[in-house]
Amino acid sequence: MTGSDLKADLQVYLQDARDVLLWKLDGLAEYDIRRPLTPTGTNLLGLVKHLAGAEALYFGAVFGRPFAGTPLWVTGDAEPDSDLWARADESREEITERYRRACAHADETIAALPLDAVGRLPGGAGEITLHRTLTHMVAETQRHAGHADIVRELIDGAVGQRPDGPNVAPHDPEHHGRVERAAKEAAPGGS
């Protein structure tokens, strides 16, 4: 039986999701990384912006290690959901660099503290351990990487975890039609 380093394991999954999220922007025009592709406005650059704030909050302020730089988008008088889209005056470079810096700051917090270190959630929402925070951020980042995968597929058909190996089975041109027919057949009345 081999030993396991729980903190290192969680960091591997977190970093993998971070990398997936950023490569979803590669090769796309400015409009494509910003345009909303769902009724709720989900867009690629907004997902990166959101997670920059989450990394800064959960691994910064929660553990008394504030993230230096611009204030978080989800505090104070911020417009609702302002962390989920980029204004025209916010550049791709600014947002992705902020995300990279927030991730580096988070990695420093993770390295500095044991998994049972206790942080304080803002607004008196209680306490949380570094272990729970890491688990939360793995889930949060993977969730949004999944959103990014779907949004990127809608833009140009690119799918998967990595540009060099999509980890998605190839589909023949008839696959979508087969899935649609099965859905209709399963529906009451066979639509």
Residue given tokens 């909050």 in the structure block: 57
On whether the CB atoms of residues 190 and 184 are closer than 8 A, the answer is: yes
Confidence of residue 146 (pLDDT cuts 50, 70, 90): very high
| Per-residue pLDDT at 163 | 72
Q: How many C-beta atoms lie closer than 10 Å to residue 93's C-beta?
A: 8
DSSP-derived letter for residue 189 is: G
For the chain, report the end-to-end CA distance as a whole number of angstroms: 54
CA 13/CA 107 separation, integer angstroms: 13
DSSP-derived letter for residue 84 is: G
> Which residues share a beta bridge with 162?
165
Mean pLDDT on 179-188: 89
Percent of the chain with pLDDT over 90: 70
- Over residues 149-179, the pLDDT tens digits come to 999 999 998 888 777 766 677 777 788 888 8
Q: How many CA atoms, within 13 angstroms, populate the side-chain half-sphere of residue 138?
A: 17
